[in-house]
Each structure stands twice: as C-alpha cells, then as structure tokens.
Amino acid sequence: MKTRALWGMMAVAVFVMMAFVMTVAPTNVRAQAPPSSCGNAIVEPGEECDPPTSPCTTSPGGAFGTCDAACQCIENTTTTIATTTSTIAVTTTVTTTSSTVTTLPSSCGNAIIDPGEQCDPPSSPCTTSPGGAFGTCDATCQCVANTTTTTLATTTTVSSTSSSTLVTTTSTLATTTTVATTSTTTTTVCSPTPENTSPTCGDMIDNDCDNLIDCADPDCAGIFPCPPAAKDPTTITFGHGGRLDRIHGHAKLTMTAVDLTTLPVNILLSDLQGVIYTDGLPAGALSPNSKGSIFLFRNSAAKTTGGMADVKIKKNKDGATYTFSFTSYGDLSGAKDSHMRLQFYIGDDPNAASDGRVFITREAPWKQTGNGWRAPKDH
Ligand SMILES: [Ca+2]
Ligand SMILES: [Ca+2]
Ligand SMILES: [Ca+2]
C-alpha cells in the first residue's frame, strides 16, 4: 500500500513536471526570436518605423527621415548634402558667364543713356548723330549709322568706325568681333542699277557702282541740271588728341522757295573713290526766326559726340537764293584726295533732283593745309 502510494505520487510529480516543461518551453522560444514583424505597418519594440520607405513621423536621428528596410529611420540629410554639392558646381559655371557679361555696359537696355552708351534701348532710333548720320541703336547701345545700307562708299568709312567702337566696348567678347566683320563684308557689295532718274540722283547712293554719287555722276548731270553750290571756303580740320575731325562748309544755293521746317537737309562729301562723309538733319530740326528768314539748328554736344553742331540756312533778300552753312564733327580721315566735292540736299524726296534741290560744288582741287583741307572760294 505504501509502495503504491509512492508510485502514485511519483507519477503525479512527473506529470506536473512535463506539464511545466510543455507550458514554459514555448514561452522561452518566443522571447528569444529576432523581430520578424518589420513590414506589418505596426511600430513595435525595436522598430523606429514601419513599413520600410514610409516617412518617419518622429525624429530619432535628429531630423525627419525615411524608414529603411530594417524599420529604422534614416535621416534625409544625406540626400540634402548631395544636392548642395551639385548646386555649388552649377553656381561656379554661372559665375563665369556673368563675369563675361558684366564687361558690357550693364545698363544697356534700361532706356537711359548711361556713360559709354550712345543710345538706349537697342533698336531705337538715335537722336544724335555720332557716326555722321542718324542711325539705329545696336545691341551694345552704340549708334550704327543708317547710311551703311543706303550709301556705298560711306559704308566702308562708317562701318569701320562702328567696328572699332564695338571692339573697344566689348573687347573681351570674341563673338562681337565676328559680328563687326560680318557687317563690313555685307556693305562692300554693290549691285549696279541705273543712276539717271530723279530718285536715284538724290538718294546719296552710288547706284551704278562707279564710285560717283548723284550729281557727281555724269549720268545724273546729263539729265538733271544739278545747280552749283557756290562755295565760300570750306574747311576740313583733323582732330588731335582724341578730338573729332571737323568740317565747316558754306554755300549759296539758288532755289525756288521751300518750307525748310518740313524738309530734311543733308550734306555729302565725296571724291573719285566714293563717299568720304555725310551728315544731315531730319525734317523739323530747323527752327525759323520770327521773320521766317533764318532757319537754325544748334547742338553744342556734337563737338564731342559727333554729328551736326550747327546749321544755318538764310533766305536771302533777293528772293531766289539761300545761304547754307554748317559745322559737323566726325571721322573725316577719308579726306585724302584734292578732288573732293560737296553736295547739299534740300529734302530727300524722289523729286529733290528734278526740282533742282540737289546742289554740288564745282570741280576745283582742294588745297592741303597744316591740319586738313581747304576748298577755294569760287564765286
Ligand atoms: Ca544715287
Ligand atoms: Ca554712280
Ligand atoms: Ca554712273
């Protein structure tokens, strides 16, 4: 009996131990396993976020980041640094470009004529005449004479002037030099057309490409009388020390009465090689005195900026003649030949030549002076 009770107690003890092992063992297995729940969208112990690639809502690393494959927050700052580096590289390139651009007059295009500019904005008409004729504002705010396209021989003179201006202004830009070369090439081309009609004999152009312009061309003189411009001494004075050259002319013109307040007036100096110099005033530039007998234009700045400094046209008491005098500043370096002639244009309309409003000085050799030329008085 005692032995059976002992066996019974042992059996109970074994059963209890087995039950204990069966109950405890699975619990220990679960506690030691690695976190396997990353990816179930629940932030559990050991995880900073879930699921991977989702944005972190807290900031354990010091900045809001992104959930990685182990459910840990990775700071976004790594990406930010890479972006900053590439931005710096781009900035270096941009700085190089802008340093080139700043060699141009930076204010070109602001509609204000700043120092170093002759006009503003680009493509606007020039109000003064530095190149020797009214022109158009180019991309660097310099006046390019319109005569480039209309007058052959001036083209060479004027375009070389504007070329050197461009090169000086933007000497660091190689492309600008190319542009200047292109315009020179374009203007030296001459396509001959007849020069024997009123419009072609009063347009200040050598239409038939023989270097003789308007009334200096026998083709015009044979059709239109081309009244003489009876001249008092006309002088050319070359500038020194950076000053502009000066031409001062004076002539008596026999002409039917015209309204000088409504007409442009121009002068053209040429020799057997073509145009040396032109200048003029647009319609409306001349102001009459109270009697309507004297018409004046004054621009004292022309001495330094170029163009017409003064024009005075007086209607003489004889009722048949006008006295035209002018002073203009510009580049007269083409005056090298004694066989120069000066033409005066009253109006630039197609009828100017047939109406007898294109005048030319008689052919008489000019005399060289110490610093220029002088045309002898011929009346
Ligand atoms: Ca012509
Ligand atoms: Ca000609
Ligand atoms: Ca001809």
Same domain assignment for residues 138 and 253: no
Half-sphere exposure of 234 (CA within 13 A, CB side): 32
For the cut 70, the answer to whether the pLDDT of residue 83 exceeds it is no
Same domain assignment for residues 220 and 136: no
Helices (H), the chain: 2-32, 77-101, 147-150, 152-169, 174-187, 218-221, 302-305
107 within domain boundaries: no
Give the per-residue pLDDT at 27: 40
* Ligand 3 centroid from CA 337, angstroms: 20
* Ligand 3 centroid from CA 233, angstroms: 28
Q: What is the pTM of this model?
A: 0.53
Give the per-residue pLDDT at 211: 96
* Ligand 1 centroid from CA 337, angstroms: 21
Give the per-residue pLDDT at 5: 53
For the cut 80, the answer to whether the pLDDT of residue 85 exceeds it is no
Query: Domain boundary residue among 95, 126, 146?
Result: 146
* Ligand 2 centroid from CA 209, angstroms: 5
Give the per-residue pLDDT at 168: 38
Task: State the pLDDT confidence band at 197, using cuts at 50, 70 and 90.
Answer: very high
Same domain assignment for residues 244 and 127: no
Region 225-242: what's the mean pLDDT?
90
* Ligand 2 centroid from CA 67, angstroms: 86
For the cut 80, the answer to whether the pLDDT of residue 191 exceeds it is yes
* Residue partners of 149: CB distance under 8 A and separation at least 6: 155, 187
205 within domain boundaries: no
Highest mean pLDDT among 39-43, 140-144, 157-161, 162-166: 39-43
Region 145-159: what's the mean pLDDT?
41
Q: Which domain holds residue 137?
A: 112-146
For the cut 50, the answer to whether the pLDDT of residue 22 exceeds it is no
Give the per-residue pLDDT at 59: 62
Give the per-residue pLDDT at 186: 47
Q: Between 3 and 125, whose confidence is greater?
A: 125
Region 168-181: what's the mean pLDDT?
41
99 within domain boundaries: no
Which range has the worst mean pLDDT, 19-28, 135-144, 217-226, 285-294? 19-28
Same domain assignment for residues 136 and 258: no
pLDDT digits (tens, 9 = 90+) for 263-274: 999 999 999 999
For the cut 50, the answer to whether the pLDDT of residue 34 exceeds it is no
* Ligand 1 centroid from CA 273, angstroms: 14
For the cut 70, the answer to whether the pLDDT of residue 160 exceeds it is no
Same domain assignment for residues 118 and 257: no
271 within domain boundaries: yes
34 within domain boundaries: no
* Ligand 2 centroid from CA 115, angstroms: 40
Query: Domain boundary residue among 146, 163, 190?
Result: 146
pLDDT digits (tens, 9 = 90+) for 308-331: 999 999 999 999 999 999 999 999
Q: How many domains does the chain have?
A: 2
* Ligand 3 centroid from CA 221, angstroms: 10
* Ligand 1 centroid from CA 275, angstroms: 11
Q: Among all ligands shown, which has an atom nearest to the Cα of 201?
A: 1
46 within domain boundaries: no
Same domain assignment for residues 220 and 134: no
* Ligand 3 centroid from CA 157, angstroms: 21
Same domain assignment for residues 125 and 266: no
Give the per-residue pLDDT at 144: 77
pLDDT digits (tens, 9 = 90+) for 288-303: 999 999 999 999 999 9
Which range has the worst mean pLDDT, 216-225, 234-243, 280-289? 216-225
* Ligand 1 centroid from CA 220, angstroms: 8
Q: How far is CA 51 from the centre of its chain?
A: 60
Q: Which amino acid is at 288?
A: P
91 within domain boundaries: no
* Ligand 2 centroid from CA 151, angstroms: 11
User: Token pair for residue 344?
Assistant: 């005066």
Give yes or no for a contact between 369 and 293, defined as CB atoms under 8 angstroms apart: no
Residues with CB under 5 A from ligand 1 (ion): 195, 200, 203, 205, 207, 214
Query: Domain boundary residue among 90, 121, 146?
Result: 146
206 within domain boundaries: no
